[in-house]
Structures are given as C-alpha cells and as structure tokens.
Chains A and B, each alone.
Chain A
C-alpha cells in the first residue's frame, strides 16, 4: 500500500507522472480502430500528468534535494534520480507548458488517420517522458540515455511526413547536429569523471579538475548543449526542423526541448564542473550576443511563419545565454549576488520563452491547419476568419516583443538590470564590454517588436493576398477548435501571470539560483519585492510594477475609447482610399512580408547573403525574386562536410570486398594487441 506521503514527495510524484506519460504512450497504441478516443483521451490525460508534474516540480523548489536509485539499467550500473530546486524548476516548466500543448494537440490532430495518430501518440509521449528523465537524471549514464531518447523520439516526430524529401533532409540535419552535440556532452562527462569509474553526478561534483581540464569540460559542455539549444553556428537545424514538424511538436521542441539544453548547461557548468570562471562568461556572452543578433536579423527576412518563429527561438536562446554569461562573469569575479541576478534573468527568460514561443507556434499551427498557408506573403485578413486565434497570437506577439505588462518584458528587464551591475567589476575591459552586450539585447528587442508588427500586420490584418487563399472564398477557413483554443488560452494566461506577478517568481528563482551559486539576492531586493513591485537589487536603483502598468494601459485605453465615443462618434466618413490615379487596385498591392523587412535588409546588408533578381524595366511579366541564405552554410557547414567526405573516401579504401583481406585485418589487429598488451 503506497501511503499518500510517498506519492506527495516531489521525486516519487514526478516519477509517477513521468511513468504515466510512458503508460499513455503505450495506451495510445491500443485503440487502433478509434482515433477519436486516442485523441480525446490520451492527450488530455497527458496534460493532466503534465499539471501534476508541474505541481511536484514547484514543490521540489522549496524542499531539500531528494535522491533515489531505480532498479533499472545495466547490472551494477543502476539509474539514479534526483530532484533539487533547479530540476524542480525545469520540471515545472516542462509540466506546465506541455499541459497546454497536449490539450492543443488533442484538437490539432483531428484530421489524422488512426495509424499515424498511433505513431504520433507514442512518440509524443516518449518524447515528453525522456525530457523529464533528462531533468531527473542523477548520473551521466541515465542522462545520456534520456538525452538520446529525446533526440530520437523528436527526430521521428519531425519526420512525421517522411514521404516528402525536404522533410527527410530536415530530419537528417537535425539528427546529425543532435548527435554532434551528444558526442561533445559524452566527452565532457568523460573529462569530468577523470578515470575513476563512477559516473554518478555526486562523484562528478566531487571530482577536482585542473584548470586546463575544467576549461576543456566547459567548452565541450557549451558546444554540446549549445548544439541542442541552437546557438550559432550550430543553429542550422532549427529553421529546417521546426517548419517540418507538426505544430504541437514544433511548440514542444522550441518551447521545452531547447530548454533542456539550457538545463544541461546550467547543471554541468555551475553544478558539476563548479568554480565558474569569468573567461567562460565572456565566451558565453560573445556567442549569446551573436546568436541574439543573428537570430532576429534572419527572422526579419523570413516569410515562412514557422521558419520565422524558429529564428526567433535562436534569438531567444541568445538572450538566455546573455543572462547566463553575465552571471558567470559576476561569479567569476567574486560577486555571487549579482551572478544570481543574471542567472535569475536567464532562467526567467527560459520559462517565458517556453510559454510565449509555445503559444506562437500553436497559433501558427492553427493558421496552417485552417488555411493550409505557411507563407506570410499569401496570408492577410485572417483576423476575420479566425478572430480567437488572432487574439491569442496577439498576446504571444506582445509577449515576445517584450512589451509590458507581459512576461517577455520582465525577463529582458532583469537581464538589463544584471548588465547594469557591471560597475562593481574590477576588470576595466569587461566592465566596458558588458553594456555593449546589453545594447545588443536592446537592439534585438526592438527588431523583434518590428518583426512581430510585420507578422501580425501581414497575416491577420489587411486583405487576403493570394488568389488561392481559402479566405477569399466565402465560408472557407475556420477558427481554431475548442481544444486548440483551451491549449492556447492556458499559455496566454501564463504570459499574463508571469508578467503580472513577477515578484513571486523572482523569490522562487532566487531559491533555485541560490542553491547553485550559494548566494541569494540582496536583502533589499527580497524585502522590497512585493506583489506590486519587482525589485531586483534595491528600491533606490530600480523597481517595476507590471500591475500599475496594466492599470495605466487599461485606463488610457478606456479613456481614449470613451472620448472617441463621446466626441468623435458619428463623424466617420466612408470613402474609397486615394488610389494615386490608378483605379485597378488588387490585394497584391499591399505591403508584403519581404517588403516590410526591406529597410533592415538595406541597413544590415553585409550580414545577409542575398540572391536578387530584378526584372528589366520593359519586362511584360515582371517577377521579383529574392533568396536569402545563411552564410554559415558556406563558412562552416560545407567545408566540414567536404572534409568529412574526403576523410571517408580515404577510409573507404579499407573496404576491399575480399573476405580474406577482412580476415587479415582482424588477424593483424589480434597480433598487434597481443604484442602490446603483453
């Protein structure tokens, strides 16, 4: 008989939730004939399990770490589990965000055939469970097993439509980079454990590394987890894999899976390697700033909605890295309190990005599901057919653009506050570089806002742009269904809660980060923060109240509305817009997504690799085409690919096709080993 006490402990509780995900994945296989049941039962159940996981994670943040050894794994090499505040925080993220996505998925997959639904249901829940195991793992062995399960299950989800060659190649690229990263992580664990044979995290924590090997371990971890997170130059899989995957899967991957990479980075660098050095922070800051700027600049150039969102994921990972980098710099120089602030900013943004990016991908999914459109240049006027989706998408767009009082603003503001702590640093160069990184963030924030003005304006406002647009046909196109809307509403509510009550999350994250850095925020910050005011350092320096912001915004809007009603109402004159003397107007004459990005393309021209085809002035059927490519392909990927091809062709000489030669290989190996081992 399991007592209630055991179930309610965070570790057993979350383990139960994860096991129930696995059970649902098995359950999804059973009702083969009834896709309706699988959809209406499996996905809501998994959302419930997600909520339970979130609750247990939340509980774990406030408790001491708990450990457990599972009787699974290889002989003499059991799986170890552990829940500490950091793991609790990420479990909460995983559980709460996946709850919304699962509910949405229950509605989204309504047109799937039952055999596809079975596979999706299986892989989807295995994917969720493996992410939870990544967070729960307390030894390198279980961590790697869960990490690889996560990569494989998500690969199969990405290639759901594997009959299309483009999707197969996107999946291959994803798998390739995932494995590159996994190799680096494996090597990192190898470096950290230093040959004493014990791969549990406790042993890795206790191991003392020389500075050289600590640097190597840091670089390997940063590379390995960065490959999964999508920092440059390893971001190339994101804009390919996210559009290829079904939308709930994109939301899971972008919202949660990238965050497991952040979790791994924090876990390995702060917890396992320990003794953080400021030079590491500078590396992270430099890469983070590059990633932020690159992500947003390329996002502005996209006209495929899901590709655009994928580039924004790259950008937001950059923002998270900026926060982490600042925290490492501060800790390395011996200011753990400021380091805690930077880390809080990073983790807060991790949670925020999971919520609003999940919401945006779900919105993009609803558009795709309803109209079949992914190209922004074909959309337009969608607000009339799908007003509810438009509303939720607007919330997500405002949140990602970091506008108060929503959540994106809070974490970016906290990152700025961390950057403003720079004067306490002794090293003059670093002290002057930190504001530069903050400026990058500011630029990226503004460009993000511009990008989402473009997305929202082009997709939802205006007139339908394409003649094949289903919206132009009367009665075609439909709004998101009930379950899809509940899923989006849950995440939209999350944007509000995270944005309006940041102080409680600040205190929570303070506990998470203090458990890693050993120092909580200043006493001023802790006493000054209330439900109304958010105070990261001291109330003299900076404070922010989202509630007051909201009240002012609502008041101003209401006042304007009333004034307009009172004084201006009834004086509206309806007439044709000025047509410059050209009476035949079509909806193609609206601003397009590409046109909207033109100023940026002009200003940041050298960054892009453009192939433009301008029609001749006397061309009777003029067509303008523009292709923007990622320079990284030519700088990094293709040389590496060529090198690999060359090396493989040399190694292929070994393959002679003659059994005698193969036997000779083993014979010579045997002789050589006998000589050496003797």
Chain B
C-alpha cells in the first residue's frame, strides 16, 4: 500500500469520525449513542493502525490494542451495564432542539478547520490534513456535553472528546509517547467507573439522573 492510498484511507476514516460525531450530536436514544461511541472507537483504532503500518511506528500498535480493548469493548460494556442497572433507556432530552444544535455544530467545524489550516501547513506528517477534523470532533463532543440534560450522555460526550483528542495527537505528531497514552487510557477507565458510582449517588439523592435537580445545590 503506497503512502497516498494510506493517506486517502486515513482521510476517509477521519470523515467517518466526523460523521459519527454529528450522528452522536443528533442521536436521541442512549443505547444508540453508546453504539455510536463504540463505532467511533473502532474508526479511531483502524486509522491509528493504518498510520502505524504505513509509517512503521511500532509503538502505535499498542495504542491500537488499547483503543480497541477500552473504547470499543470495555467502556461500552460498562455503560451498557450501567444503564441496565439504572433503568435509563429513555430518550435523551436536549436543551436546544436538534436542528439548531446541528447548525451550531457546522459553525464549529468551520471554525476548527480555519484554526487548523496554519498548523497543518507546518506539520509534515502523513495525517496532517485530518487535524481540523480532530479538533472539530473535540468541539462537537464538548457541545454535546453542553446541550444534554441527562448525566449519562454527558459522560459519553466527555469520553468522545477524549477520542477526538487522541485522534488529534495521532494526526499532528503520530501519537503521544506510550507512557502518556497508557496513563490517559487508565484515567479514562477510572473516570468511567467514578462516573458510574456518581450516577448511583445522584440518583439516590434526587431520584433521577436529570442534572436540572442539581441546581438546588447552588449556594444563595
């Protein structure tokens, strides 16, 4: 496989990633949301594998394995278990309606591309053109955290944001050092568990996972 083909493939997967980010933004059902998140992880793993293979950066294979294990299998499974236990399979409510969110999202993507243009000119990596997409997916996930009302989609938004960051790291500099990646992966896992524990506590306290109830905690 020549450089140009792998570069094309990575671009394709990047586009897929962005598409998934938009899909998550517009998705109303939690179960589908988790599935989309897993797909995002898979796309990330495949694109990292392609980068690793075509550039010969062997340490990236570890990242691939880690991503597959954590983001495609373990965390979606944990989230599934969590919503089973919490009985929260209902539709997701949003603060702003979905078409408006999508419009804001398009604005963010344009912003991210404008921002990334000068940076990707400096980088000479195989994947430099995808930096804009990576940033766009970070911002989109952040947007998702803001517009969702329930705690579980917010956490998925947070995890998706980490995906975007990871993709930005591979596209700009062929990934972070392995130690950092291991640390981040562990943090994400631990974070998920902690969120899970918090969900139970929040529900116990407010009988709901709707974060509107937490406004009561404000100090007057």
On A, residues with C-beta under 8 Å from B are 655-660, 663-664, 666-667, 670-671, 674-675, 678
* B25-33, B142-150, B166-174, B177-185 - interface stretch: B142-150
With A671-B111, A678-B118 known as contacts, the answer to whether A655 contacts B146 (CB < 8 A) is no
| A660-B95, A660-B147, A674-B115 given; A667·B215 CB < 8 A | no
Out of B111, B139, B147, B212, which one reaches A658, CB within 8 Å?
A: B212
Contact B111 A667 (CB under 8 A): no
Q: List the 7 closest A-B pairs by CB distance, nearest first.
A: A657-B218, A657-B215, A663-B146, A659-B211, A660-B146, A667-B142, A663-B145
Chain B residues lying within 8 Å of A655, measured Cβ to Cβ, are 218-219
Q: Inside 8 A of B218's CB, which chain A residues have their CB?
A: 655-657
Partner of A657 from the list B95, B143, B214 (CB cut-off 8 Å) is B214
Give chain A residues whose Cβ lies under 8 Å from the Cβ of B214: 657, 659
- B100 CB within 8 Å of chain A: no
- Shortest CB-to-CB span from B141 to chain A, Å, is 11
* Chain B nearest CB, measured from A667 CB (Å): 5
* Cα(A671)–Cα(B212), bound, Å: 25
CA distance A408 to B149 in the complex (A): 72
Q: Mark B71-115, 1 if CB is under 8 A from A, else 0.
A: 000000000000000000000000100000000000000010001
Inter-subunit contact B142/A670 (CB<8 Å): yes
- Contact: A659 with B154, CB < 8 Å? yes
Please give, as numbers and ranges, the residues of chain A lying within 8 Å of B194 by CB-CB distance: none
In the complex, what residue of chain B is closest to A664 when comparing beta carbons? B146
Interface-centre pick from B142, B149, B217 (highest chain A CB count, 10 A)? B142
Decide if B146 touches A658 in the complex (CB within 8 Å): no
Judge whether A667 and B115 touch: CB under 8 Å.
Answer: no
> Which A residues touch B146, using CB under 8 A?
660, 663-664, 667
> Can you spell out 21 A-B residue pairs with CB atoms less than 8 angstroms apart?
A655-B218, A656-B215, A657-B216, A657-B217, A657-B218, A659-B154, A659-B214, A660-B146, A660-B147, A660-B149, A660-B211, A663-B145, A663-B146, A664-B146, A667-B139, A667-B142, A667-B143, A667-B146, A670-B139, A675-B115, A678-B115
Closest chain A residue to B217, Cβ basis: A657
Distance to closest chain B CB from A654 (angstroms): 11
Question: Measured between alpha carbons, how far is A657 from B212 in the docked complex, in Å?
Answer: 9
Q: What residues of chain A lie closer than 8 Å to B143, measured between beta carbons?
A: 667
> How far is A660 from B139 in the complex, measured between Cα atoms in Å?
15
For chains A and B in complex, what number of residue pairs have CB atoms within 8 angstroms? 37
**Which residues of A have CB within 8 Å of B111?**
671
- Return B53 CB to nearest CB of chain A, in Å: 32
Bound state CA distance, A675 and B115, in angstroms? Answer: 8
Closest-by-CB residue of B relative to A655 is B218
What is the bound-complex CA distance between A520 and B143, given in angstroms? 70
A181 to B156 CA separation, bound complex (whole angstroms): 46
Most buried by A among B115, B146, B147: B146
- Closest B residue to A652 by beta carbon equals B219
Q: What is the minimal beta-carbon distance from A672 to any residue of chain B, in angstroms?
A: 12
In the complex, A395→B149 CA distance in Å?
Answer: 74
Considering only CB atoms, which chain B residue lies closest to A660 in the complex?
A: B146
Task: Report Cα–Cα, A666/B142, bound state, in Å.
Answer: 9
Q: How far is the CA of A658 from the CA of B212 in the complex (A)?
A: 7
Contacts of B154 in A (CB 8 A): 659
Task: Given contacts A657-B215, A663-B142, A667-B139, list 18 more A-B pairs with CB under 8 A.
Answer: A655-B218, A656-B218, A657-B214, A657-B216, A657-B218, A658-B215, A659-B214, A660-B95, A660-B149, A663-B146, A664-B146, A667-B142, A667-B143, A667-B146, A670-B139, A671-B139, A675-B115, A678-B115
Cα–Cα distance between A656 and B211 once the two chains are bound (Å): 13
**In the complex, what's the smallest C-beta–C-beta distance from A637 to chain B, in angstroms?**
25
A667 to B140, CA, bound (A): 10
Shortest distance in angstroms between B2's beta carbon and chain A's nearest beta carbon?
34
- Residues of A with C-beta under 8 A to B215: 656-658
Output the least CB separation between B61 and chain A (Å). 32
In the bound complex, residues from chain B placing their C-beta under 8 Å from that of A678 are 115, 118
Q: How far is the CB of B143 from chain A (nearest CB, A)?
A: 7
For the complex formed, measure the closest distance between the CB of B173 and the CB atoms of chain A, giving whole angstroms. Answer: 18
CB distance from B14 to the nearest CB of A (A): 19
In angstroms, Cα B218 to Cα A666, docked, is 18
Interface residues of B in 174-220 (CB under 8 A from A): 211-212, 214-219
B117 smallest CB distance to A (angstroms): 10
Q: By CB atoms of chain B within 10 A, which of A663, A675, A678 has the most? A: A663
> Which residues of A lie under 8 Å from residue B212 when comparing CB positions?
658
CB-nearest residue of chain A to B151: A659
Which residue of the partner chain A has the closest CB to B212? A658
Q: Report Cα–Cα, A660/B118, bound state, in Å.
A: 32
Q: Which residues from chain B contact A656 at a C-beta distance below 8 Å?
A: 215, 218
**Chain B residues within 8 Å of A667, by CB:** 139, 142-143, 146
Shortest CB distance A593–B (Å): 46
* A residues in contact with B219, CB < 8 Å: 655
Hey, which chain B residues are within 8 Å of A657, CB to CB?
214-218
